Amino acid sequence: MAGPMKMRATWANGFTDVRVLMTHPMETGQRKDPDGNLVPMHFIQTITVQLNGKTVVDCEVSQGVSRNPVFSFRIKGGARGDKITVAWQDNKGESNSIDSAVA
Amino acid sequence: MDRIRRALIGISAAAFLKPWEALAAWNKEAFGAKTAQDALRSIGVSGAAPTKEVLIEAPEIAENGAVVPIEITSNIPGTTSIAVIADKNPFPLVAQFRFHEGAVPFVKLNIKMGETSEVRAIAQAGGKSYVATKEIKVTIGGCGG
């Protein structure tokens, strides 16, 4: 099941580095369960990264991204205390998001 | 003609039957493509110029194909998007990132690789496409199983 997210955003030398972890099975639809039945596809499709509510990166991803995806992004500027929000949506319509202040 | 018809059916199906898919703006055709060429065509890339200004940092040999760490940086000014393609995966297009004002054209992610393959990073800047390629050897596949 899709679960919690973790994120760390840090500012250094004029750049904000964002590292985010999503808990998600990222099923390809090719794997079989112990009974030999195919596990249906279940994977994150879209991700957006926002700085103070403004989208800076948006992503489309496939089942080719590893289970429990970890992404790093870099934003020019930003400042300590700015709000970073990362949200995802998967092929079953599930979604999650997290926000944190730049440290 | 048939292509147009299918595209129209696809659009109407997305709009009426599965509205959430239309909202998510996920490029079904590109991600469903089974060859790197088809995937590239679906994201509107043709004749990408090889470049040294797009850097792929990844292991030469990935012991575990389920988690292959890849870092991509584009040093081309005005880069608006980076796509990641693993040529020999069943569905080669892994991800596409669009960078808006304020974002650095950089991304780090973990991908799955079924077997040893060329991995391409395609950057788009100023209406042109640039490609960097790196071969990654995989000892244990990460798809299926």
Lookup: tokens for B86: 């693993």
What are the residue ranges spanned by the domains of chain B? 1-32, 34-140
Lookup: tokens for A41: 């596809």
Closest by Cα among A58, A91, A48 to B31: A91
Closest by Cα among A88, A9, A100 to A42: A88
Q: Considering the domain A5-101 in this protein, what is its CATH number?
A: 2.60.40.10
3.20.20.140, 2.60.40.2470, 3.40.50.10490, 3.40.50.1820: CATH of B34-140: 2.60.40.2470
Q: Do A93 and B91 count as a contact with CB atoms less than 8 A apart?
A: no
CB < 8 Å to B98, chain A: 57-59
The count of other CB atoms within 10 Å of the CB of residue A57 is 27
CA atoms within 13 A on the CB side of B34: 0
State the nearest Cα–Cα gap between B9 and chain A, in angstroms. 20
B115 shares contact with chain A (CB less than 8 Å)? no
- Give me the pLDDT at residue A58, please: 95
Digitized pLDDT (tens) for each residue of chain B, 145 residues in all: 566 666 655 555 544 444 443 344 899 999 999 999 999 999 999 889 999 999 999 999 998 999 999 999 999 999 999 999 999 999 999 999 999 999 999 999 999 999 999 999 999 999 999 999 999 999 876 655 4
Where do we find the tokens 């790196």?
B134
**B65 conformational bin, left if phi > 0, alpha if psi -120 to 50, beta if neither:** alpha
B20 shares contact with chain A (CB less than 8 Å)? yes
